[in-house]
Amino acid sequence: MSKTVSGFSKLTKLEKIDWLVSNFFNNDVKVKQILMQYWNSNPVLQDLHDDFIENTISNFYLPFGIAPNFVINGKDYTIPMAIEESSVVAAASLVAKFWSTRGGFKASVISTKKIGQVHFMFEGTNNEIKNYFTKKKAALLLATKAITQNMQKRGGGIVDIELRDKTVDLANYYQLHVTFETVDSMGANFINSCLEAIANEFEKEDVQIVMSILSNYVPECLVHAEVSCKVDKLYAENSELFAQKFVQAVQIANAETHRAVTHNKGIMNGIDAVVIATGNDFRAIEAGAHAYAAKSGRYKSLTNATIENGIFKFWIEIPLALGTVGGLTKLHPLSKLSLKMLDNPSAKELMEIIAVAGLAQNFAALRALTTTGIQKGHMKMHLTNIIKQLGASAEEKQYLIDYFEHKTITHNAVVEAYNKLIGENG
Ligand code: MEV
């Protein structure tokens, strides 16, 4: 039996669920209950979430945690993080505290330009299209006037429009490469509207517009964040060796793609969590960050570390196109609250905070990897998860945690120890 459907979007939420349950879950009532137990009891809030996307049937929760004790450019922050992975928020908090007693994090925005492109085909000569562009340039800017007016009032707008000859890469392919300043908004809608207006104005019989769209590769929307301290203040025992291994770990990520990807994934654990909590687009951030990591033609670490004259320095440079107005930022009550928690930052300040979250996460990962390994912490969490699944009481839980302090944790070993315990107690 075919499970395709037409007019699905017109069905009510309950009708959509009924369709799903009858077609894919054999009319199991429990499925409907699971979906509905995540509905918000406040209908206004539920309507708000329903309208974020299409065909909404329920909500999918992510834990929302906070990492206190961040000192960035001398200011205290508690950073909101939305993430499902255990240990990330704990790592952020520990590293924040650690660096708060060593001068804190320093961060600065290098540039904030964003890019959009009108991609088109032209079969004539390079000179012909150049002349046409030169003649048209003022009209192209004028065509966006209604859209750019407000942005200009806030200090943004179109910075420049360039004609780029891409015919070496693809026959007849040219583009209008447009640079934007979008101030505190991420600016996706603004950029795309400007590009479409520019494309309309530019189009003529022998200019075939293919598409107009912003680029998520934003190497000129760049932020730097760093920490530094004397090598001997870095680690309790054998600080010099620790610093050396730490730097080597970064060098390995710079030399080897398999390691670089995992290294950068750890950085994105911190970055995405704050990007999501503040209502920004984590797919855009991910795509832009990884492209930047590969800008030399080889995929490398987004962080760097050095030891010079007894000083350990660790830094990140990453493109982050973010907004603190527009999009979901003020629409989602938790994003709004997250921004308030951060003292309603400008987009620039948010770039600094989020770069720091990524740097902190990388510091935690490399510190663990080059010393104790990461499994110690992870297995502790694994143990508590198994104990939870077993339905152990608070006393039984404590007994098992103590019992496994110096033993290897496996699912079987925990179940065995638990069974023995309740056998003895019962
Ligand atoms: C796990 O989510 C992230 C790490 O693998 C990052 C790293 O290896 O640097 C721990």
Q: Are residues 386 and 251 in the same domain?
A: no
Q: Are residues 407 and 275 in the same domain?
A: no
pLDDT at 1: 60
180-206 CB burial, b ≥16 within 10 A, e <16: bbbbbbbbbebbebbbbbbbebbeeee
Within a domain: 407 = yes
pLDDT at 376: 77
Within a domain: 175 = yes
What CATH code is carried by the domain that includes residue 331? 3.90.770.10
Contact 263 CB / ligand 1 (< 6 Å): yes
Q: 364 CA distance to ligand 1 centroid (A)?
A: 9
Probe residue for ligand 1, chosen from 251, 257, 366, 374 as the CB with the greatest number of ligand atoms within 8 Å: 374
pLDDT at 255: 97
Within a domain: 5 = no
pLDDT at 236: 87
Probe residue for ligand 1, chosen from 259, 265, 362 as the CB with the greatest number of ligand atoms within 8 Å: 265
Q: 320 CA distance to ligand 1 centroid (A)?
A: 21
Q: Are residues 230 and 205 in the same domain?
A: no
pLDDT tens digits, 219-243: 999 999 999 999 999 998 899 999 9
Contact 265 CB / ligand 1 (< 6 Å): yes
Q: Are residues 205 and 229 in the same domain?
A: no
Q: 85 CA distance to ligand 1 centroid (A)?
A: 11
Q: 238 CA distance to ligand 1 centroid (A)?
A: 24
Give the ligand 1 atom nearest the CA of 366: 9
Give the ligand 1 atom nearest the CA of 85: 2
Q: Are residues 142 and 194 in the same domain?
A: yes
pLDDT at 327: 86
Closest CA to 323 of 314, 315, 332: 332
SS3 at position 292: helix
Q: Are residues 243 and 360 in the same domain?
A: yes
Q: Are residues 320 and 388 in the same domain?
A: no
Percent share of the chain, pLDDT over 70: 99
What CATH code is carried by the domain that includes residue 198? 3.30.70.420
394: pLDDT confidence band, cut at 50, 70 and 90? very high
Q: Are residues 347 and 249 in the same domain?
A: yes
Instruction: Check pLDDT > 90 for residue 100.
Output: yes
Q: What is the number of domains present in the chain?
A: 4
Q: Are residues 338 and 260 in the same domain?
A: yes
Within a domain: 58 = no
Q: Are residues 259 and 279 in the same domain?
A: yes
Contact 21, 32 (CB under 8 A): yes
Beta bridge partners of 121: 173, 208
Within a domain: 289 = yes
Contact 374 CB / ligand 1 (< 6 Å): yes
* Whole-structure pTM value: 0.92
Probe residue for ligand 1, chosen from 85, 259, 269, 376 as the CB with the greatest number of ligand atoms within 8 Å: 269
Beta bridge partners of 161: 178
In angstroms, what CA-CA distances link 326 with 28, 185, 279, 330?
Answer: 41, 6, 9, 7
Within a domain: 193 = yes
In angstroms, what CA-CA distances link 331 with 54, 58, 151?
Answer: 17, 18, 20
Mean pLDDT for all residues in the chain:
96
**Can you give the residue range of the structural domain that contains 321?**
64-110+223-371
Ligand 1, atom 2, lies closest to the CA of 266
Average pLDDT for 105-124:
97
pLDDT tens digits, 143-199: 999 999 999 999 999 999 999 999 999 999 999 999 999 999 989 999 999 999 999
Instruction: Check pLDDT > 90 for residue 379.
Output: no
Q: DSSP E strands: which ranges in 157-291?
A: 157-165, 173-181, 207-215, 221-230
pLDDT tens digits, 234-278: 998 899 999 999 999 999 999 999 999 999 999 999 999 999 999
Tell me which residues are annotated as active site.
85, 265, 281, 378
Give the ligand 1 atom nearest the CA of 88: 2
Within a domain: 18 = yes
The residue assigned the tokens 């984590």 is 282
Identify the domain boundary among 214, 246, 276: 214
Q: Are residues 179 and 139 in the same domain?
A: yes
Q: 226 CA distance to ligand 1 centroid (A)?
A: 19
Q: Are residues 227 and 86 in the same domain?
A: yes
In angstroms, what CA-CA distances link 116 with 119, 187, 191?
Answer: 10, 11, 6
Identify the domain boundary among 159, 190, 214: 214
